[in-house]
A and B are shown apart, each in its own frame.
Chain A
Amino acid sequence: MGMSWRLVLPIVLILAFLVTVPIWGGRYPTYLTIQIMLLVVFALGFNLLLGYTGLLSFGQAGFFAVGAYVSALILLQVPSLLLGIVGGVLAAGLVALVLGYLSVRLTEIYFSMLTLSFGMMIYSLVWRWRAVTGGDDGLTGVPRAPLDLLVVSIDLSDVMNYYYFVLAVTVAAVFLMYRITKSPLGLTFQAIRDSATRAAFVGIPVRRYRLYAFVIAGLYAGLAGAMLAPLERTVTPIYSHWIYSAEPILATLIGGIYVFAGPIVGAVLFIGIKEIIVRLTEHWMIWMGGIVIVLVLGFRGGVVGTILGWLDKDQETARAEEEKPEAPGAKRQPEAGE
């Protein structure tokens, strides 16, 4: 069973669009698209936790910051992009492993509060540990080092070139996450989300799998952070602030938590809307908050979830035809309103 053209066609169009952005778009749209892609990676990781495993983390900025700082520190020492990114990702994964081990003992709001506290701890650590992090000045002069691939060395110092690196990594990260969500591992996460008790009573060690989801989310946050450092060339404590944790949360809520594409579309909308309103008003956060509330209340299940729901209605009707009750008593229930 291959992918249907209904899936392939939009993907091809989107990729074609993305590949040509630096050609027709100019510097700022290119930069903005990189920002969107970073948020896509960040939010996809976050939603593996929320939408797929049922865990709301308020501390993801902590892992983003670990990725950003470690990649910056490496790049300031060794001018190898690959080393910087991989180092940042692994560091974030390691921190997520340790903090996740402690966090997944709790669930629901207690889990959320604990992740918030850990995020705040990382924030103050970044502030205080001047010798390493540069305190409130942050780390400056991070080089956009060349990408060394065996024999070739690709110069990425121009944002237009760096764009293609981020695009390639993002496409790979999205594809990988898609595979995870469709795999037995992804189904295991979803089972835990739906009922942790039932999951235990089919034999799933729930905590361990929550930890796996937490680490994957941490790796994705770290990847987004690690790619940000060479883009901005400076890393400051703001990236570890809990307000920054809200970005993937809002993007995901806008797009929809129960659909794979939710965080992707949500990231585009979030940055798009933000970009427009910061030009119109100083108090962009208030407006952003208002817009998010309208979107979340107006599109239950997110923008993508709602639109898919509309498209699905026809198929539902067709499917109902095909289902004939097998046992005489097994009448189909009337459709619950969605």
Chain B
Amino acid sequence: MNPILEATNLSKTFAGMRAVNDVHIELYTDRVTGIIGPNGAGKTTLVHLLTGHVQPDQGQIHFEGRDITRLSADQRVMGQVCRTFQVVDIFPRLTVFENIQIARITREAKNLRWFGGAAKEAREAVEAALEEVGMWGFRNRRAEQLSHGQQRRIDLAVTLATDPKLCFLDEPTSGVSPKERDQMLELIARLAEAKRTTFVLIEHDMEVIFNLCAHVICMHRGAILAEGTPDDIRANKEIKEIYLGEEV
């Protein structure tokens, strides 16, 4: 089986500091991949590189066999690689409904329609997406009026509305209440089960990673320290050490 995404020799230096150092990564459609590692390990930067938010200093990225290294972020999204950010990033002044709708309008390449009303576009898809994340009742609120946990869900719904084949979630539960966290994880598990999208999950919580992911990559100082099944990772001495050394 070919990887849906394969990156080779990826490196990125910020002001003399190698945030991502010669990384080789393969992602497959039949499993959820988890990326772990202590703060500053380079997890987010790696996702930035893979999704086109940041250009690599060197390396190649192939998605479904195509070289996407030079494609911009929006081109990659249209090619069905999407993500969420570690810090919620949605459209604060748009309504919840419009947040999803703009993703659908763009997916359907209707952004240039300049005369007909936007309100009637993609209604069914938006409805379905909002029901999926349990936010239908909030559709007419401006996104900035929601709680942080609700914003996280909208963030995820916006991302999914782009129809990604491959989707990176950068700490999707950070900063939400325990209850909302469980709901979010349940939702992600359900979506992963549906297999429309291949998920890559960045998380600090090992239990979450071991529950959701069939394959785990551990990063440390910009490089991949180890990868394998959750059991491999659990048994890995080196990983235990870096976690004990830098945080618990």
Contacts and interface: CB of A to CB of B under 8 A. Distances in A.
Tier of interface size on chain B: 35 or more
Most buried by A among B51, B74, B90, B183: B74
Nearest to A320: B141
A327 interface: yes
Interface string A272-301: 000000000000000000000000000000
B140 interface: yes
13 contacts: A183-B116, A187-B118, A188-B111, A190-B94, A191-B102, A195-B92, A200-B72, A200-B74, A202-B106, A204-B111, A205-B74, A205-B75, A319-B140
Closest 9 pairs between A and B when the two form their complex, measured CB to CB: A194-B91, A329-B179, A203-B77, A185-B114, A202-B103, A203-B106, A333-B147, A184-B113, A188-B111
Contacts, number: 138
Interface in A165-215: 179-180, 182-188, 190-191, 193-195, 197-206, 209
Given A329-B179, A336-B144, A182 B117 contact: yes
A313 interface: no
B33 to A, nearest CB: 20
A184 B111 contact: yes
Contact of B114 (A183, A197, A203, A330): A183
Interface of B: 51, 53, 72-75, 77-78, 82-83, 85, 89-94, 98, 101-103, 105-107, 110-119, 121, 134-138, 140-141, 144-147, 149-150, 158-159, 161-162, 177, 179-180, 183
Interface residues of A, number: 40
Nearest to A319: B140
B107 A203 contact: yes
A258 interface: yes
A329 B177 contact: yes
A333 B144 CA distance: 11
